[in-house]
Structure 1
């Protein structure tokens, strides 16, 4: 089964925008009510009968079932019969809110995520149609259950044979978007190692260095935008909270944040395509991005978006039939790619790799990328030599990357 998601910008009418906003607000209330119900049940059983709090205690009957997805769905069905506000929203959309809450608790128990939080007004950003209508796209309009036809920008056609399984409506600073989850019942063979091998090393000095001695500069999307963001946020601070002018100023800040995010994502896609156009195999370090984001240079690490780039690179490799593999990251900058000697730790200020054994000299990040490609080739059963003609027995000279 092949699954992928297409994103389209919606152009709803004013009444349809009001309907979207109303649905999001009802979904937020359902989320908060269900979360409050779960927290009360857990708090009523958080201490023994001989250790109750002297101040207050939650008292819920002992035979009350634990509020899970099935129990709360039954309660939602009963509540819809008496609550007119709940009737205005598609029943499956509200059920998906409860399912999302159940998934949040499962992630907390099994994956170490934090406790789910209540959502204040405006924080619910999306809702999901799990079973869309049979005919989803009619011309340049999307047929949404209980809402009808909504105009959208048909930026690219849906491929033949794909079926729309789900539709998620997402609210962003620039408007509403529709995420169409497409599926095709085919078996896609796994990409096998082939062609020229390329290793990459991600960093803050240079965004990316390849084993071919190509260096890609790191655009500082957020850092360069801080001055304008500070100016926009000053305007917000001078407005009365909740007023119309305050909302307009807040929207300008949100639009600029989205501009920064879109610019970063565009750079990641262009860089990924640039790499895939020159290799049949790409190897990268298996980075612990979550730990990197907690270091002293966390702002610059998050500005680089290494986790997003690796996900995009893996997707582009799949699309272009390029083999992609992550290798062990430990010791890549402490190993000589020429003689495999462990050179020890280097301070971050030292940007040149100089091997004391064989005398090999190269850029520090390029040497690490060459170690990465050697580990990748060893992992797939190839020799540690490069597979391209003319590059099998020598390491090329360092050069600057052309602008992407």
Structure 2
């Protein structure tokens, strides 16, 4: 397939267009057809539209066009019909007596060619084109499919999205409109957490949380799967199977991480009413520390934590990402600029002589700032 491009997009958009004279009168003859072909050719050249094929019948016109999608097929058809109608009625005066206007307002257009079904990763249907049946069966375009229901569908379904993952498994996502009761904020304990590289979360109350590095645990299996894949001949069935095996490993790691995040978020939100965290620049951290940050999945965990907090009634309070939580002594407030160096893991305050663990001190400062922002000064 050949592609074209403009300043913004690369495209290959071909259309089959059919339009007719008013009342489907057979007037496209006696020289009108030849003149119409000349006009259509000239208009297409002027609009930079590829006229691939054209057929003029006495009562209808077939065009096969390739059009820049930013310009649009509708504009092209309107321009062809408008210009040709005016010129033909001027040059062939007998058309005026037979028809009030040359062309009908309507026309037929269809896209030409289609993508293989496996090229589609997802598509969304709104209110039409599908129907839920009894027995975990969904009907999509007259075809019935049985599915496993992971949870009950509540409320009014607004859209349904069908997604295919790299393993070829298909998932149904329902977007529903529900009347939910607002969960009021509850009272209870508060905590501050510092995300770190040595451990997942350092807590202000010493209840630290270590995260298993799932990618690191499975690194040898991934290397082996990658080596097997690289040895397979391209386009072969063995390569396809090796690709699926590698994708299955990555999915396993993703599921392990997600399971850990959900269980941890549920535990934290059940225990604490106020959870104070930093608003981290995750992308910047990934550029600096790479795979380890991705393995922790900080940003995914924060989304899950906020979701669970809304469900239970806890509050997630984010503090400004530029607040120097690691540099300030949580006892007297003295700032130590030396701690900008990440190699400094422990330090002693020059003013109050308190010995600090870098991450613990940061977690306590995060808790203090987050709590004072939410409750007022403490």
Q: TM-score, normalised by structure 1?
A: 0.64
1:228 aligns to what? Answer: 221
Question: d(CA) in 1 for partners of 2:130 and 2:241?
Answer: 39
Q: Secondary structure at the match of 1:179?
A: strand
| Contact 1:195–1:279 under 8 Å retained in 2 | yes
Question: d(CA) in 2 for partners of 1:382 and 1:34?
Answer: 61
Question: d(CA) in 1 for partners of 2:73 and 2:364?
Answer: 55
Q: Secondary structure at the match of 2:110?
A: helix
Question: d(CA) in 2 for partners of 1:238 and 1:333?
Answer: 48
Deviations 1:85-112 (A, max 9, x none): 48x99xxxxxxxxxxxxxxxxxxxxxxx
| Contact 1:38–1:67 under 8 Å retained in 2 | no
Question: d(CA) in 2 for partners of 1:83 and 1:267?
Answer: 48
2:272 aligns to what? Answer: 279
Q: Secondary structure at the match of 1:369?
A: helix
1:269 aligns to what? Answer: 262
Q: What is the Cα deviation at residue 337 of structure 1?
A: 1.6
Q: Secondary structure at the match of 1:350?
A: coil
Decide which of 357, 360, 370 is 2:364's aligned counterpart: 370
1:245 aligns to what? Answer: 238
Relative to its length, the structure with more strand (as a share) is 2
Flag structure 2 segments of 5+ consecutive residues without an equivalent.
12-44, 50-66, 77-105
Q: What is the Cα deviation at residue 344 of structure 1?
A: 2.1
1:126 has 2:122 as partner = yes
Q: What is the Cα deviation at residue 34 of structure 1?
A: 10
1:382 aligns to what? Answer: 376
Flag the structure with more relative contact order, 1 or 2, with Cα contacts below 8 A and sequence separation at least 6.
1
Deviations 1:286-323 (A, max 9, x none): 0111111111x111111111111111111111111111
| Contact 1:37–1:67 under 8 Å retained in 2 | no
Decide which of 135, 141, 146 is 2:137's aligned counterpart: 141
Matches within 5 A, 1:293-372: 293-295=286-288, 297-329=289-321, 330-346=323-339, 347-372=341-366
Deviations 1:60-105 (A, max 9, x none): 8389x9845x947999x9896364748x99xxxxxxxxxxxxxxxx
Question: d(CA) in 2 for partners of 1:187 and 1:176?
Answer: 32
Count of matched residue pairs: 297
Deviations 1:309-351 (A, max 9, x none): 1111111111111111211132011111222221223233333
Question: d(CA) in 2 for partners of 1:137 and 1:325?
Answer: 43
1:402 aligns to what? Answer: none
Flag structure 1 segments of 5+ consecutive residues without an equivalent.
1-28, 42-58, 90-121, 385-404
Q: Secondary structure at the match of 2:332?
A: coil
1:209 aligns to what? Answer: 202
How much is the aligned-residue C-alpha RMSD, in angstroms?
A: 3.5
Decide which of 107, 110, 131 is 1:81's aligned counterpart: 110
Question: d(CA) in 2 for partners of 1:203 and 1:184?
Answer: 38
Q: 1:237 to 1:84 in 2, by over 3 A?
A: closer
2:47 aligns to what? Answer: 61
Larger radius of gyration: 2
Q: What is the Cα deviation at residue 195 of structure 1?
A: 2.6
2:26 aligns to what? Answer: none
Q: Secondary structure at the match of 1:380?
A: helix
Q: TM-score, normalised by structure 2?
A: 0.68
Q: 1:78 to 1:188 in 2, by over 3 A?
A: farther
Decide which of 170, 178, 181 is 2:175's aligned counterpart: 181
